[in-house]
Each structure stands twice: as C-alpha cells, then as structure tokens.
Amino acid sequence: MKANKTKINNLLKTARGQVDGLLKMVEEDRYCIDICNQLMATQAILHSVNKEILHAHLNHCVKEAFQHGNGDEKIEEIMSIMDKMGK
C-alpha cells in the first residue's frame, strides 16, 4: 500500500473510537438521532480512508501497471470497486 500509513492509521483509530462510542450510546439507550449522527460521522471517516487509499492506488499502482503494459487489469479492479461503492 502506497497511501500515507500514518494518516490512514490515525483515521481508522478515530473511527474505531467512534464505533466504541456508538456501542456505549446504544447500551445507554441514547436518543436515536444522536446515534444516527454519530454513525454518519463514522461513515464519513471510513469514506475518507477509502478515498485516500484509492487515490494512492491510482497514483502509484495503476500508473506503474500502465508503464509495464498491464493497466487493463487495474482498470477492471477500479471499476469493480466503483460498482461496490455505488451500492
């Protein structure tokens, strides 16, 4: 992986902390909308992580694949990920 590992680790640790907070909120029977807002914040962090990794993949792995003549496979991988993201 060519993405900034420090940044990715920090974001994932933040998301993990938010998930722990969500579990506590559910256990404490907190207000539904507060839980929903926290869920959306966690999803936003995970979306950022995914975007960061995909950008790095395009800038390094895909670029390198095209330089070595096997870029079509990488394009198929990206298209598959985009299909999954759209669901």
Report how far residue 8's alpha carbon sits from residue 23's, in angstroms, rounded to the nearest whole number: 23
Q: What is the pLDDT of residue 21?
A: 97
Q: Where are the domains of the chain?
A: 5-85
Task: Note the pTM of the prediction, 2 decimals.
Answer: 0.84
Q: What is the pLDDT of residue 1?
A: 78
- 36-43's contacts with Cβ under 8 Å and 24+ in sequence apart are 42/15, 42/18
1-58 confidence digits (pLDDT tens): 788 999 999 999 999 999 999 999 999 999 999 999 999 999 999 999 999 999 999 9
What does the CA dihedral 74, 76, 78, 84 come to, rounded to 10 degrees?
-150
Q: Return the CATH number of the domain spanning residue range 5-85.
A: 1.20.58.1000
What DSSP line would sit under 10-21, residue for residue? HHHHHHHHHHHH
